[in-house]
Amino acid sequence: MTAPLPPGSTIGIIGGGQLGRMLAMAAARLGYRTVILEPQPECPAAQLANRQLAAAYDDPAALDELAAVCDVVTYEFENVPVEAAVRLVSRVPVFPPPPALDVAQDRVTEKRFLNASGISTARFRAVDSDADLAAALAVFGGDGVLKTRRMGYDGKGQRLFRGAGPGDASGAFAAMGQVPLILEAFVPFEREISIIAARDRTGAIVAYDPTENVHRGGILHSSTVPARLRADTALAARTAAAAILDALDYVGVIGVEFFVLADGALLVNEIAPRVHNSGHWTEAACAISQFEQHIRAICGLPLGDPARHSDCVMENLIGDDVARVAELAGESGVVVHLYGKAEARPGRKMGHITRLKARRET
C-alpha cells in the first residue's frame, strides 16, 4: 500500500467552480495545499486555493506545470478532456482514473458500460440522424427524451417527445446541433434518489445514506435524507454503486443517480465521477463530508465513517434565491454555504442551505 500523502503535500484540482472550492476547503482542513487549473480569473475555487493556473484545461504547458508542482491531481467536473487526464497520469497520480472520465462523458458509452456491468438503465438508442430518431421513437411508442451524448448538464441539451409521429423527427438532429445524440425512453418512476460513495486506493468502499432528490427545470432543487425507500431498495442502490466503483477501479467519490420504480426496482440514470450536488448535505449532517472523503481517498488516508448524525434537507440557492440569505441565516438549524460568485443569474447555483432535523429511526 502506498503511504498517505503527508500534510503540506499539494493537490491539483482541474476546474474552478463551487465543487473545486469545497474540495479546497476540505484539503486545507487536512493540511494540504491546492492548485487550481481554471481559465476563468477569480473563480470560486481560486478564492480559497493556494494558487491558480489560469489556462485552458487542455493547455499542454499548464498541464505539465500542474504535474510538476502537485503530488496528486483530481477534478471537479466530468467534462475534463480525457487527453488532458492521460497526459497528466504519465507524470503524476490522477484520481478518479481517466477511464472513469471516458465512460461518464458519453451517455451511450455510459449506459453500455452500466448494462455490461449488470446494472439496469432506461432503454436507449444512439441517434446520429433524423432517420435514427424516427426509428427510435417508433420503438419507444413516440415518447422519449432526446439528449446530447456529451456536455449536457442541469437540463441543457435536451428535448422531450410525447406521442410523436413519423414526421416529428424531421429537423430535430439539426436543431440539436448535429452532434451525436441519445434517445432515452420515459421511465415511470416514483422518485429520484442518489448515492454518494467512495473507494480508496486499497479497494475499500463506503457509502452515504441515499438521498431523495427533487429537480425543477432540470436543476436539482432539494435533497432529503432519509429518502423514502424500502430497505431492500436502499441496499440495491449501495450494491450498484459498489459494483460501478469496482468495475472502474475507481479512487475518490462518485455520485450515482437512480430512478425508483413502483415495485422498488432501480434504474441508474447517470453517474458523476466526482463529488456531487446531492451530497452537499454531508458537510452539515455528517462528521466526514463527501469533500473530505474525496480528499482522504485520493491522498491515501483512511476513509471516514459516512454515518449521519442528523436528518436534513439540502436546498440549492438558484439565481436570486441568494437574496434570501439573511432571512435563511436567521432560521434555527439552517447551515448556509455560499460559493463566492459575484453575479446572480437565472439558473446559476449561488449556494445552498441545509436544514438539520433530529434524526429519526428508519
CATH, residue 45: 3.40.50.20
- 0.85 exceeded by pTM: yes
For Cα atoms 221, 225, 229, give the angle at the middle one, nearest 5 degrees.
105
pLDDT in tens, 290-320: 999 999 999 999 999 999 999 999 999 999 9
Residue 270: partners with Cβ closer than 8 Å, 6 or more residues away: 104, 107, 110, 257
Average pLDDT, the chain: 95
Q: Are 338 and 224 in a shared domain?
A: yes
Find the mean pLDDT for residues 92-115: 96
Q: Are 222 and 351 in a shared domain?
A: yes
Distance CA 129, CA 307 (A): 48
The amino acid sitting at 179 is V
342 to 31, 47, 335, 345: CA distances (angstroms): 28, 12, 20, 10
Q: Please indicate, yes or no, if residue 103 is contained in any of the structural domains.
A: no
Q: What percent of the chain clears pLDDT 70, i.e. is strictly above it?
A: 98
**212 pairs with which residues across the strands?**
193, 224
Q: Is 307 helix (H, G, I), strand (E, B) or coil?
A: coil
- Buried-state track 22-56, b at ≥16 Cβ within 10 A, e below 16: bbbbbbbebebbbbbbbeeeebbbbebbbebbbbe
Q: Are 180 and 258 in a shared domain?
A: no
Q: Which domain holds residue 140?
A: 123-184
Q: Are 46 and 130 in a shared domain?
A: no
- Of 135-139, 252-256, 357-361, least confident by mean pLDDT is 357-361
Distance CA 90, CA 67 (A): 9
Judged against a pLDDT cut of 60, whether residue 362 lies above it is answered with: no
Q: Are 258 and 220 in a shared domain?
A: yes
Domain end call among 94, 111, 143: 94
The count of domains in the chain is 3
Nearest to 84 by CA among 67, 109, 72, 71: 67
pLDDT in tens, 34-71: 999 999 988 999 999 999 999 999 999 999 999 999 99
Q: Are 142 and 209 in a shared domain?
A: no
pLDDT in tens, 13-36: 999 999 999 999 999 999 999 999
Q: Please indicate, yes or no, if residue 100 is contained in any of the structural domains.
A: no
Q: Please indicate, yes or no, if residue 105 is contained in any of the structural domains.
A: no
204 to 2, 19, 242, 302, 304: CA distances (angstroms): 14, 24, 10, 9, 11
**Which pLDDT belongs to residue 218?**
86
Q: Are 208 and 165 in a shared domain?
A: no
**Which pLDDT belongs to residue 361?**
62
Residue ranges of the alpha helices (H) in 141-289?
A: 172-175, 231-247, 282-285
Q: Are 49 and 153 in a shared domain?
A: no
Judged against a pLDDT cut of 70, whether residue 152 lies above it is answered with: no
Q: Please indicate, yes or no, if residue 117 is contained in any of the structural domains.
A: no
Residue 244: partners with Cβ closer than 8 Å, 6 or more residues away: 114, 117, 119, 250, 254, 256, 271
**Which pLDDT belongs to residue 305?**
98
- Answer yes or no: are the C-beta atoms of 198 and 181 closer than 8 Å: no
Categorize the per-residue pLDDT at 240 as very low, low, confident or very high, splitting at 50, 70 and 90: very high
- Buried-state track 208-237, b at ≥16 Cβ within 10 A, e below 16: bbbbbbeeeeebbebbbbbbebeeebbebb
